[in-house]
Chains A and B, each alone.
Chain A
Amino acid sequence: MRFTRIPGWLLLTIGLIIGVEFLLRLPAVQRMLPDPRPTLWHAQLIQHKIDYLTTYAASHTVNVLFIGNSTMQAGVNPTVFDTVRKKAAGAGSFNASIEGLPPKGMLLFLKIYLRQLQPDVIVYGLSPQDLNANSPWAKDVTDRVFSSPLALAAAKEGWQGQLLALLYDHSMLFRYRFVLLKMIMQGGNYPPLPEVYFDRRGYHPIERVLADTPEAQRRSYYNRAGVMNYAVEGEQMTAFDELIEYVRARGIQLILVNMPIADEYYENFDSPDDYDLYMAALQASSRRYQLPLWDLEGDALHTFGPREFADFNHLNIRGAQRLSDELAERFNRLRASEAVVGHRP
């Protein structure tokens, strides 16, 4: 047995680690390298969103935070919302939604957000795919979020998160390791990130109009994966409850919003009853935790039409303008009726 070799390779490895750690601490070296940004495979710009939130929170009191998936990211324009709602000077809202994230992943990122700010209200926009226990997409995204060391480190989630956060805080090698590996594997190149498609307040404006979309393209908007074999149970429902309790425990009011969907979206469901299952679950949570539930899909007075959608479940700029207006007015009415923030735990 060649145990005599162990010191040699071990010493070399330790030497490499220390040497690279030292080099990475040199500002000149750091300037030569791309920023070590945490990304998710389907949402590469997550760090931009966190950075934008940090920047905005430095000059404003973020007292309303919007969270949810891509439907919320494209559905609420904080600038419009803040224009209509009554607010104190210096206060502002931010759209911290992240595409694809069901409640379990959203909870992790909410923990990251709430490490740096304390909003009065969180508005959580939900769509049917968020609560489906059998969505392979939600499972895949959740698995990958919880396999992302930098996301776990930022949220300090679990013992692994604590350990990773410690490494992140104290080791440049840990911070830069994926950057270095990618650069090595690509022969010194580093793949550029996509262009940032959301604005400085996290809103993703989409210009496309569903009503003007050719039929062939419209067909590509059908997406059964999110709502197939619809069932409201399992880890996403559990995480949804955890998220509500987490927010309430911090003295923050939570408002649930059922996001509007186009008529064609219903064709994705296996059965017409599936949508009712989703609504029943939302209503049950709203009752159990005494949370306001604003149903922007079921409210016949505020039906959104194909000129306000970009596809079957994302609002375009016009739709987002209307939804943001509507949310602000409801928000004003809620504030007026409660006089002070209600339903605090």
Chain B
Amino acid sequence: MLFNSLEYVVFLCIVLALYYSLRHRGQNIMLLIASYVFYGFWDWRFLGLMLLSTIIDYSVGLALDRTQQPKLRKLFLIASICANLGILGFFKYFNFFIDNAERILHAAGLGFSAPTLYIILPVGISFYTFQTMSYAIDIYRGQLKPTRNMLDFALFVAYFPQLVAGPIERASHLLPALQRARVISAEGVTSGLMLILIGLFRKVVIADTVGPQVDAIFSNPSAQSSPMLLMGVMLFALQIYCDFAGYSDIARGTSRLLGIDIMVNFRQPYFAADISEFWRRWHISLSTWLRDYLYIPLGGNRYGEFNTYRNLMITMLLGGLWHGASWNFVIWGGLHGIYLSVHRLFRQLTGEKVGRGVAQPWGLGRILGIALTFVLVLLAWVFFRSPGLNASLAYLRQLFSLQNMAELPSVLPAILVPWSLALLVDIPQYITGRQAAMLAWRKPAFNVAVATMLFLIILGFGNRSPFIYFQF
């Protein structure tokens, strides 16, 4: 069931009607059933997998709480991590690793032929396994007390607004919100509806409209002129942002209607003045997860320069691989790892403090920083979107060959109009720091903005394409 479908509108109306008429416990039971129904719409067969993950981490959480023996606690944690990564590894990466092992052994002259299994990737598996894993790790670290209520935990894992494409919530944030009675405020409902409107605008009006052009350009880059290839990558950068941020907005808006706040996943990433700031603004729930559960445990920046760079690269390569079992995602992650390393080195050489980008005042320096970061991110998107390394390099070669540049004026409107529409939403959010910034606008401006967005959504609604991040 897609957020941008009529089914979801009907589903949400039924859920809200029931939710508002029930008390806290009843609300949680109903939300859990609704979440399983929501997930079952894709493929009910994988509900069992989610239940397995739920039972394992619920039990591990209780076991970790009961014992103080370090060895035993470690064993429980390893069991949880192995189970979750095992599920994820099998369903997402089995064929990838087998194929590559086969190639390596073949290249080494060893005949090896493993069967390729037909494995369907269960939707949302990368999100909920990371979420349940962080629960067990937090308890192991003593940062979280386990819940004894199985139903609350099951709801934490399956909570439908953020189940299939995040944000990847932390138990320390979402569980307490599920455990306490919710207060439905008029403010919350208004801002929730506003977020849903913004999310639908980003997804239906921008991402889905530019998507076919992106598909057409990336499917045959060698037949395109340089301006068309520029359009392809510019529009893909916009598509993936509006698609994913749009999903997150609708998820957060839906959750607000239920009286539950979930974390912000995007903060206008293309306004980042350096690459490190970009990662504090892009897919925040994943980047903070990778920081807390991978980069820091690897040693972070505590054990010398070489180890810091190594940790950065490992984190970004695995972060890339998280997106899918394909080398192009690894290359994309690796590129960002290199960017971050070079940025860190540059900061050290110039004595610049970490995180200066955010605080940097507006001026030529910041504008140049935004432009440079944007170009670097665009280059990396080519590797993310293309089917392989050769295709990416061919795309870039053709792009920089600057062929048929006379076409540029005719291509520009198709780049500028969607970007302008996206910026009309992003700029107020960036200036105010509020996702529902439009609510503070004066009446005429607010009315015109909402009516225009709603009208454009009506034009595009129904031409539904799946959210890009569902495949991850």
Enumerate chain A interface residues (CB-CB to B < 8 A): 1-3, 5, 8-10, 12-13, 15-17, 20, 41, 134, 143-144, 147-149, 160, 164, 173, 177-178, 180-182, 184-189, 191, 228-229, 270
Q: Is the CB of B209 within 8 A of A13?
A: no
Contact of A184 among B417, B443, B462, B466 (CB under 8 A): B417
Given that A41-B215, A187-B416, A187-B417 are known contacts, is A178 also in contact with B447, CB under 8 Å in the complex? Answer: no
Q: Is the CB of B465 within 8 A of A147?
A: yes
Contact of A8 among B185, B189, B447, B456 (CB under 8 A): B447
A216 to chain B, nearest CB (A): 14
Contact residues in A for B118 (Cβ distance below 8 Å):
134, 228-229
Q: Is the CB of B455 within 8 A of A16?
A: yes
Can you list 11 pairs linking A and B with CB atoms under 8 Å apart?
Answer: A5-B443, A12-B448, A13-B458, A17-B455, A20-B455, A147-B464, A173-B458, A185-B414, A186-B413, A189-B414, A191-B213
The 10 closest A-B pairs by CB, nearest first: A187-B413, A1-B186, A12-B451, A229-B118, A9-B450, A8-B447, A149-B462, A181-B459, A177-B459, A13-B451
Q: In the complex, what distance in Å separates the CA atom of A127 from the CA atom of B416? A: 44
B469 to chain A, nearest CB (A): 17
Having A8-B443, A16-B452, A160-B6, one finds 13 other A-B pairs with CB under 8 Å, namely A1-B186, A3-B186, A5-B447, A9-B451, A177-B458, A178-B460, A185-B414, A185-B417, A186-B414, A186-B417, A187-B413, A189-B410, A189-B413
Q: Is the CB of A188 within 8 A of B451?
A: no
Q: In the complex, what distance in Å separates the CA atom of A16 from the CA atom of B458? A: 11
Contact residues in B for A149 (Cβ distance below 8 Å):
462-463
Q: In the complex, what distance in Å separates the CA atom of A143 from the CA atom of B465? A: 9
Contact of B460 among A15, A177, A189 (CB under 8 A): A177
In the assembled complex, B111 has its CB within 8 A of some CB on chain A = no
Task: Mark B202-241 against chain A: 1 for CB-CB distance below 8 A, else 0.
Answer: 0001100110110100000000000000000000000000
A4 to chain B, nearest CB (A): 8
Q: Is the CB of A188 within 8 A of B6?
A: no
Contact residues in B for A144 (Cβ distance below 8 Å):
465
Q: Which residue of chain B lies nearest to A179 when distances are taken between CB atoms in the complex?
A: B459
Task: Mark B83-118 against chain A: 1 for CB-CB distance below 8 A, else 0.
Answer: 000000000000000000000000000000000101
A39 to chain B, nearest CB (A): 9
Given that A8-B443, A228-B118, A229-B118 are known contacts, is A16 also in contact with B451, CB under 8 Å in the complex? Answer: yes
Q: Which residue of chain A lies nearest to B450 when distances are taken between CB atoms in the complex?
A: A9
In the assembled complex, B427 has its CB within 8 A of some CB on chain A = no
Q: In the complex, what distance in Å separates the CA atom of A173 from the CA atom of B461? A: 12
Docked complex: B163-219 residues within 8 A CB-CB of A: 185-187, 189-190, 205-206, 209-210, 212-213, 215
Q: In the complex, what distance in Å separates the CA atom of A18 from the CA atom of B22? A: 39
Q: Which residue of chain B lies nearest to A146 when distances are taken between CB atoms in the complex?
A: B464
In the assembled complex, B454 has its CB within 8 A of some CB on chain A = yes
Given that A1-B187, A147-B464 are known contacts, is A181 also in contact with B205, CB under 8 Å in the complex? Answer: yes
In the assembled complex, B439 has its CB within 8 A of some CB on chain A = yes
Task: Mark B406-436 against chain A: 1 for CB-CB distance below 8 A, else 0.
Answer: 0000101110111001000000000000000
Given that A2-B439, A178-B460 are known contacts, is A9 also in contact with B413, CB under 8 Å in the complex? Answer: no
Q: In the complex, what distance in Å separates the CA atom of A15 from the CA atom of B450? A: 13
In the assembled complex, B400 has its CB within 8 A of some CB on chain A = no
Q: Is the CB of A1 within 8 A of B189?
A: yes
Q: In the complex, what distance in Å separates the CA atom of A160 from the CA atom of B443? A: 36
Contact residues in A for B413 (Cβ distance below 8 Å):
186-189
Q: Is the CB of A178 within 8 A of B451?
A: no
In the assembled complex, B446 has its CB within 8 A of some CB on chain A = yes
Contact residues in B for A178 (Cβ distance below 8 Å):
459-460, 463
A182 to chain B, nearest CB (A): 7
Task: Mark B115-131 against chain A: 1 for CB-CB distance below 8 A, else 0.
Answer: 01010000000000000
Contact residues in B for A270 (Cβ distance below 8 Å):
116
Contact residues in B for A13 (Cβ distance below 8 Å):
450-451, 454-455, 458
Contact residues in A for B463 (Cβ distance below 8 Å):
147-149, 178
Q: In the complex, what distance in Å separates the CA atom of A154 from the CA atom of B439? A: 40
Contact residues in A for B451 (Cβ distance below 8 Å):
9-10, 12-13, 15-16
A19 to chain B, nearest CB (A): 10
Contact residues in B for A10 (Cβ distance below 8 Å):
451
Contact residues in B for A182 (Cβ distance below 8 Å):
209
Q: In the complex, what distance in Å separates the CA atom of A145 from the CA atom of B97? A: 34
A15 to chain B, nearest CB (A): 8
Q: In the complex, what distance in Å separates the CA atom of A41 from the CA atom of B214? A: 12
A132 to chain B, nearest CB (A): 11
Q: In the complex, what distance in Å separates the CA atom of A9 from the CA atom of B116? A: 55
Contact residues in A for B215 (Cβ distance below 8 Å):
41
Q: Is the CB of B447 within 8 A of A9?
A: yes
Q: In the complex, what distance in Å separates the CA atom of A8 from the CA atom of B414? A: 31
Contact residues in A for B416 (Cβ distance below 8 Å):
187
Contact of B190 among A1, A20, A180 (CB under 8 A): A1
Q: In the complex, what distance in Å separates the CA atom of A188 from the CA atom of B451? A: 21
Contact residues in B for A177 (Cβ distance below 8 Å):
458-460
Q: In the complex, what distance in Å separates the CA atom of A41 from the CA atom of B252? A: 31
Q: In the complex, what distance in Å separates the CA atom of A224 from the CA atom of B68? A: 54
Q: In the complex, what distance in Å separates the CA atom of A240 from the CA atom of B448? A: 50
A155 to chain B, nearest CB (A): 15
Q: In the complex, what distance in Å separates the CA atom of A329 from the CA atom of B293? A: 71
Given that A41-B215, A187-B413 are known contacts, is A180 also in contact with B465, CB under 8 Å in the complex? Answer: no
Q: In the complex, what distance in Å separates the CA atom of A164 from the CA atom of B464? A: 14
Contact residues in A for B466 (Cβ distance below 8 Å):
143
Q: In the complex, what distance in Å separates the CA atom of A180 from the CA atom of B451? A: 16
Q: Which residue of chain A lies nearest to B115 when distances are taken between CB atoms in the complex?
A: A270
Q: Name which of B6, B209, B412, B455 has the most chain A CB atoms within 10 A of its CB.
A: B455
B99 to chain A, nearest CB (A): 13
A30 to chain B, nearest CB (A): 17
Q: Is the CB of B456 within 8 A of A184?
A: yes
Q: Is the CB of A9 within 8 A of B446?
A: yes
Q: Which residue of chain A lies nearest to B466 when distances are taken between CB atoms in the complex?
A: A143
Q: Which residue of chain A lies nearest to B185 when distances are taken between CB atoms in the complex?
A: A1
Contact of B456 among A5, A181, A187 (CB under 8 A): A181
